[in-house]
Amino acid sequence: MTMSRLSPIFDVDDCSPGQTPEQQERMVITPTHSMASLSGSLTSSASSAHASYVASMPLPFRYVDPSHPALHGSLTPPASVTGKVLNFSPGPTNLPPAVEAEVQRRAFPQPHELRLGSMAQSHRSPEFGAVLENALRVTREVMRVPPEYEILFAQGGGHGQFAAVPMNLCSHPGEEATYVVNGTWSKRAVEEASKYCTPTVISALNDDGSCTTLPSVDRINAEINPRSKFLYVCSNETVNGLELHDLPRLASRVPLVVDASSDFTSKPIAWRRANVGILFACASKNIGHPGVTAVIIRRDLLNRANPMTPGILNYTTNLSA
């Protein structure tokens, strides 16, 4: 079986602002060979209907690949599949049947129950407040989070936190941080952070851009910028297959920031011994709904945000909401 990268659904970067709408409209992404084979089984009526839909879309949203599998139900199993369908692709985890049944019962009550489900309750109601308090309590219990840390549920996934972390810990772009870059996600994180702080990079990338190893603790101790407001690591670089099974315990007292999106709740965290300042996770991969982001922050790191930080990304604002 040959694996190849699927082209993106949207790609407006190739379109020049000076081009006419007719020129831009012709710039449709060419499907890869694997996409062509996947789309070969699509019915002509479905393709025709989708083509008409695309044609009706205003620019710039018309820059789509009409044959992209995601637009044709490629994630829907064939009718011949029976039993429970499991998702092994990146994204939301599969829940045990008993949990799914309880979620359905609470969220969507039967008509004779004469009650509102959790999906219909106000976020300011005492009923939802109890749901939130329970989620915070269980998270603290499962993760063994010490009392000096606050737990937030945010939006924006890991990419949102790539911006939120430097904006909350660096009061202006001239303040410094150190990033350990050992794969795809930490590389994206430092690229985003460079807009809001001045990063020092400890890179484990090979000359060809690949990554096959982690920097040693000795190297991190030698190269960390002592003026850093934080040291950033990704504990599990899924694209590159590198995982930190234990967080580094460094000589420096610079707070450690951990992107734990793909190993969240899977192992104990040495909160104090590793000097963890922030641990965040795109929670859908392991514990929750798509879009939910967990942020666990030590209280002494609050109230340090850049004044330009949007309220939705400001940890102190979120905590007081």
| 43 sits in which H/E element | none
C-beta atoms surrounding 173 within 10 Å: 16
CB 164 within 8 A of CB 192: no
Q: 184-193 and 157-169 are packed helices; what angle lies between their axes, rounded to 10 degrees?
A: 40
Active site residue 185: yes
Catalytic residue among 65, 187, 229, 259: 259
Catalytic residue among 185, 229, 263, 271: 185
CA distances from 302 to 7, 29, 165, 305 (A): 40, 44, 11, 8
Q: How far is CA 207 from CA 172, 204, 214, 223, in A?
A: 32, 10, 15, 19
**H or E segment and range at residue 148:** none
- Is 259 considered catalytic here? yes
Please, what is the Cα angle at 266 between 261 and 272, to 5 degrees? 85
Q: Sign of dihedral through CA atoms 40, 41, 44, 47?
A: negative
d(CA 270, CA 295): 16
Angle at 253 between CA 249 and CA 255, to 5 degrees: 85
Check 65, 263, 271, 285 and give the catalytic one. 285
Catalytic residue positions, numbered: 185, 259, 285
